Every structure is written in C-alpha cells, then in structure tokens.
Structure 1
Amino acid sequence: MEQKQWGVYVHIPFCRQKCFYCDFPSFAGRERYMKEYIRALCQEIEVRGSSYVRRWGNPATIYIGGGTPSALPAALMEQLLLAIGNVFCIAGEEVEFTVECNPGTVDAAYLAMMHAHGVNRLSFGVQSFDDELLRRIGRIHTGEQAVQAAVMARAVGFSNISIDLMYGLPGQSMAELKAGVEQALSLQPAHISIYGLQLEEGTAFARLQEMGKLDLPTDEDTEAMYDYMTEVLPANGYERYEISNFARPGFASRHNLSYWQDLPYLGLGAAAHSYLEGQRWEAETEIPAYIDLIKSGQSPFKLEEPATRAIAMEEFAFLALRTTAGISRQRFEQKFGCSFDSVYQQAVQRLCDKGFLVDDGDAVYLTKLGMKYGNWAFEEFLLF
C-alpha cells in the first residue's frame, strides 16, 4: 500500500434557504430527497472511500461541506457519520474532521451527537452578527443564535471552532463590521475566515446589481473594511496563513491547506470535485440523477478537461500563492521537472519591483500589499 497524504470532501447539497450571494451547488426545498441521498452517499463512501483507503491508507482530513450539512435531520447526519467512521479511522485527533454548520440549524444535542461520532472541528457560517444585515443577505439565523451555537459547541467538547465573516455587504457600515468582529473575538474561536462579497453570475445579488437595486459600500469603504480586519485579527492572536484565513497557532485548517498545497482529495456526493493523481473529476450535480447513478452501480464522476502543462503550472502557482508560505521552488521542480525561475523569473521580478512579492531564494510569497491586490499578482503567473 502506498502511504499518501490525502483528504476527503463530502458534499451535502441541501439548504433551508439559498443565500442571496451563493453560487455553490446547493438547493432549497429538496428535503424530499434527503433520505435517498444519504443512502446513496453512504454507498459511495463504502465503495469509493474503501478503495482509496486500501491504496493510500487513512486520509489526513475529512470535510463535510455544502450547502448546509447541519440542515440534515439528526438521524440522517448520524447515519452519514457512522458510514464515514466505518470506512475511515477517525479516532482521536490525528484526522481533522470538519463539519460546516449554519447556527440556525443546530442545538446542543445535535452538536453533542456529532462530537460523539468523531467530528472534532466545526465551521460556522456566521457572516455577521447583525440581524438586519443577516436578513438582507438571505441568512436564516440571528446574531444571538450564532453566539449560542459557538457557546454550545464549546460546552459539548469542541475546542476547534471556526467562524466565517463577510465584509462589503449591501448596506454594511464600518461600525457594523467592527461590532461583528468584536463579537467574534469575544467568542474566542480557534479560526476566523473573512470573505469579501463577490457578485457571482446567477445569484440573486447579481440580478439585483443588474437592475441597479443593490446598495453596496463604496470601493473605498470595502477597502477600509479589509484593512481593518487584516490588522485587528493578527493583533488579537490570529496568524494569517492564507489570504482569507486566520488562526490561533496550531489551528490552521489542515483540509483547506491541502487544496493550496496541491495534495490529492477524494470528493464524495453530488457536485463534489476530486483531485486524484493529477486529474480533476466532477460529480453529477443534480440530486436525483446522482442517486440513480449510485443505485445502478455507475460512477457519478466525469473527468474534467485534462489540464495542459501550462495550466497545471498556473494552478500550482495560484494555489500556493494564496498561502503565506508561498511557492516552493523545490516543490515546483519536483512536480514539473524544470526550474521555477525558467518559467517565472520575469514575473517574479516585476512583482518584487512593485512590492507585491518577496523572494527569499527558497520560495516566493505575497507581501501584505500583494495579498490585498492578489488578483493583480495572480495575473502575472498566467502563461499565454
């Protein structure tokens, strides 16, 4: 058996309500499929999960995302966790086992059940603690529910808790943002993620923007929000390890780091993506079609268009640059069989001259300014 560092992603495509900014493959009003979906998903975990355990050993990380995994009734979540536990060894803290949760869908009993079945990390999609702002962006929880969810999680035994916050939201003021950050810090989570609003095609917010009905902060205000968050979080003990992610020492998300470090992962469930042996795969997105494929013993996955060598180099660079560790020259050469400088020397020099990049000889990584204007920096790593 080849021992390999790899991860598992499990997709739950259900939501109580679709957030107005969300373009993820998730669906509201499909609860009628939940039982059949979990049955099919457990079957896929048994077949495909077992296959990779036999080949590579146990995964280092497991991540249940969505959608809203905690929208599953407790009995179905328990069924899923039992199936995962039957295939993957999840005892102790060796495997980082994360579940995404909406604060409005959990209670103490639900959280305790997950903890009892090996989940050791929770990621709460809080976004804001301001009730009016939450309503405006389509979230189903309140600020008080977010506070209570974190308190309950700690009470039932979770020490690794992450909170997501958003900035640049419609009608959001700097005062509201600061109040939210202060509330998050008071809860002392191990990890905080910050995301600026992106208007994605096909979302409710994108349609409102097209109609001129979306009251967004100015670019200057959004930039000030970003500057505030990237200064106050490190000042309070949260080390920045990726453009949008901050953690107390020892609590960086190992699963997300595996994406940025070009490590393989197995995706399970409808719309899940896999990255295996240098190839990217995508599962059937529609829930009924996914269930039918699993029932009939067919693979729900199709191979995405194979990446050219140039695209593979670009992806490697983009992903690594998101982290504070940056691009390792040694890892680049090991993967592509050529020196990093033979491909990117001029791009690196241009970015260093602009103050966007640091080159220490072993690696190149973004400066604080480079992280702020990451998209401009990434453009330099495109190979035409």
Structure 2
Amino acid sequence: MQLGLYLHIPFCQQKCFYCDFPSYANKEGLQDEYITALSSEIALQGGLLSAYSINTVYIGGGTPTVLPIHLLTNLIQTIQKKFKLTNDVEFTIEVNPQTINREGLYRLYEFGVNRISFGVQSFQDPLLKRIGRIHTADEARQIVCDAASVGFKNISLDLMYGLPKQTLDEVEYSVREAIKLPIQHISVYGLKVEEGTVFAKLEEQNKLFLPDETLEDKMYEFVMKQLPEFGFERYEISNFAKAGFESRHNLKYWQCLPYIGLGAAAHSCFQNKRFYNEQQVEKYIQKIKWERNAVAHEELLSHKDKVEEFCFLGLRKKTGISCREFMDTFGYELKDLYGDTIENLKRKKLLSELNGQIFLTSLGMKYGNQVFCEFLLDS
C-alpha cells in the first residue's frame, strides 16, 4: 500500500489576518527543538510503517520556509532516510514568497523537493497589507520565476477573493497576473471569516468591510470562467491545474486514501482510524521527548463516517463519485441509501449523473456545502 505523508511546520513570520491554522509567530526560539522532536517522530513512524511506501510528501504550515534552510534540508533528508519513498514521489513544500530566495529554492530542488506551492493571494500591495501578508506583488512574481529557473516544473500558486475592500478589477488583475507566470496549478479560495482570527474580531466591531454577495458572486464567476480558458482545468472545487499537474497529495484526501500526519496538530487517517497530534508546539515537543508519541485524540471510523466521507469528499472532485466504486467498497448500491437525495439534488440542478458517476454541476460547485450536508446520515 502507498501512503501520503504530511508534515506540519507551525511557525510563521506574521500571522495572516484570516488564518485560523495552527501556526504561531514569535516562536523562533523553538525551531531547533521542534525539528529535533519532529525528526524523532519521523524516525519512529518510519520504522513502524516500513512495510509501506510513500508516494506523496507535503510539508505545510504555517510557513515551512521560515525555518533556516539547513533545518529544512536536514528534515528532508530525515524523511528520505526513514521512509521508503517511491521513485515518482510528489514532494511538495509550501512557501511564503518573502521567506526564501533563489539559492534557498535551489537547495530545496537539489534535495528532492519537486513541487512548490506559493501563498500569493493577491497581486495588489495595499490589499496584501490589509490581509496581513508580508510579501509584495513584485516579490511574488520574482520568486515564482526563480523557482522555474532553478528547475521546478510543478509550481502552484494560491489566490483569494472576497477580501476586505477588494474590487472585481483587482480579482481580474490578480488572475491575469498569475496566469502569466510559469505555473501549472492554481488554488483559489473565497474568504471565510474564521473564529479567533483578526478578521473575526474586526467583524465583531463592524470594521471588516467585505464585498457584498452580488460582487463576490461576480468574482467567483470570473475565476471559474477565466482559468479554464488558459488551460487550468477545474478538477476540484477550489483547485485548477494544467493536464497532469493535479495535486496527487490532496487527491488522497478527497479519495479517502490513507495518509499519515507528523508534527504539531497534524492529522492522520490510517487503518480505519482518524487521529491528530497535540496542537501546542511546547506540548508536542514534550510529548515526543517523554512519551515518543504526540497523539492528542484518536477515533475509530464508523461505517456511517466512511459512507459520508466517501460521498462528500468525493463530490469535491470534478469527476464526483462512482456508483460502482461505492458498491465495491460498501457492498450495496449508492442509490439504495441516497436515491431520493440524489434525485432531489438533480431536480435542483446541483447534481448530475453520467456513466455511473454522480457529480456536482457548475451550480453545485458554487453551493457545495449545501449539497454535502444532504449526504450526512441520521445517527
């Protein structure tokens, strides 16, 4: 069996105003201890999982490249030594444009990273400041070009819409700037104000000036129409790629394939269990040091859990879910359980069906969360 491997780097130079991920600024003093603890967890899990091969690795955060390059390359070498990576492994690292230079990119490429994901979000400097980003638009353009020049042939870029005071012209400009760059993949996310973020506090104070629903819809429609015209096909609700450059690691999540997460707050799904590590960096380090295990919570996946996740995760993909695969996995027909639900959603033009595949329509992609809720089963 082949597994996906995720490693979490919980450090960042500055917390973005929209971010509710488990990441922390001003904890640089813990970086060496953290990488030592993470390397210990890698060594332990690499031994326990020696019968498995790893065909996708994803180092995310936080901002992995806020680490000194020698710590990052040491971490990469530890992964390569302790796990059995396939020859065609997809090895991704997330990058904030301002936290690395061309030499650093070359070192990552030299050490085996072959896919890079840049958090750009926008190509307007005033907007970048308003959302708490520390890079400029020119820095983003330059570092993406640098990545291509050192040899990266699989480069992804993140954009956002629905941001405070953002205009439709700004979204159009950012998309057009992105597609000029030597990239193969784009992720586009609409802003969701999450509890505990700077934006949530501003919203409570009526100081967060977001585009209205009509304007946000126009932003969404522009992105969905424009990217395919330039060869970026939508293969998942928020993700677009040129042919053959879909994120193999993220596809594991949507296809309910097994993956292991290492590091603070990292999640895993493996052997019919879902589990995650301690979120606080200090607690994670101590648990690895004294217990050699940082798991904070573990649960067995019930039959109900697996059926629901097969449906609502699978429906995130453009290809949707296969009736045959559902039958092979669970031993009964998808429509025996969800027949009325599927027909109702088809009448509302949210779902479609072709050759045994059930998938979201364009309208369904827009209102995906509403569709997913229909696939939750009563206890």
Aligned pair 1:84/2:76, yes or no?
no
Work out whether residues 93 and 116 of structure 2, in 8 Å CA contact, stay in contact via their aligned partners in 1.
Answer: yes
Equivalent position amino acid for 1:59 in 2 = I
Match of 2:17 in 1: 20
Aligned pair 1:296/2:293, yes or no?
no
Equivalent of residue 363 in structure 2, options 345, 369, 374: 369
Inter-partner Cα distance in structure 2 for 1:255 and 1:134: 28
The superposition leaves residues 202-229 of structure 1 with CA deviations (integer Å, 9 ceiling, x where unpaired) of 1110111111000100101001000000
The within-5 A match list for 1:1-384 is 4-52=1-49, 54-56=50-52, 58-90=53-85, 94-384=88-378
The superposition leaves residues 168-194 of structure 1 with CA deviations (integer Å, 9 ceiling, x where unpaired) of 000100111111111100003100000
Query: Gaps (5+ residues) in structure 1?
Result: none
> What fraction of aligned residue pairs are identical, expressed as a percent?
49
Inter-partner Cα distance in structure 2 for 1:73 and 1:194: 29
Work out whether residues 33 and 285 of structure 2, in 8 Å CA contact, stay in contact via their aligned partners in 1.
Answer: yes
Inter-partner Cα distance in structure 1 for 2:236 and 2:196: 28
Q: CA deviation at 1:293?
A: 1.4
Q: Secondary structure at the residue paired with 2:300?
A: coil
Q: Secondary structure at the residue paired with 2:2?
A: coil
Q: CA deviation at 1:369?
A: 1.1
The superposition leaves residues 241-284 of structure 1 with CA deviations (integer Å, 9 ceiling, x where unpaired) of 00000000000000000100000000010100000012100101
Inter-partner Cα distance in structure 2 for 1:161 and 1:306: 36
Q: CA deviation at 1:46?
A: 1.1
The superposition leaves residues 131-182 of structure 1 with CA deviations (integer Å, 9 ceiling, x where unpaired) of 0000000011110110011011011100100000000000100111111111
Superposed CA RMSD in Å reads: 1.2
Q: CA deviation at 1:102?
A: 0.2
Q: CA deviation at 1:90?
A: 4.7
Equivalent position amino acid for 2:150 in 1 = V
Q: Secondary structure at the residue paired with 1:195?
A: strand
Q: Secondary structure at the residue paired with 2:163?
A: coil
Inter-partner Cα distance in structure 2 for 1:335 and 1:19: 41
Equivalent position amino acid for 1:179 in 2 = Y
The superposition leaves residues 332-352 of structure 1 with CA deviations (integer Å, 9 ceiling, x where unpaired) of 223322221111111110111
Q: CA deviation at 1:361?
A: 4.5
With normalisation by structure 1, the TM-score equals 0.96
Q: Which moved more, 1:357-366 or 1:161-170?
A: 357-366
Q: How many residues are aligned here?
A: 378
With normalisation by structure 2, the TM-score equals 0.97
Q: Secondary structure at the residue paired with 1:7?
A: strand
Inter-partner Cα distance in structure 1 for 2:76 and 2:17: 30
Q: Which moved more, 1:327-336 or 1:95-104?
A: 327-336
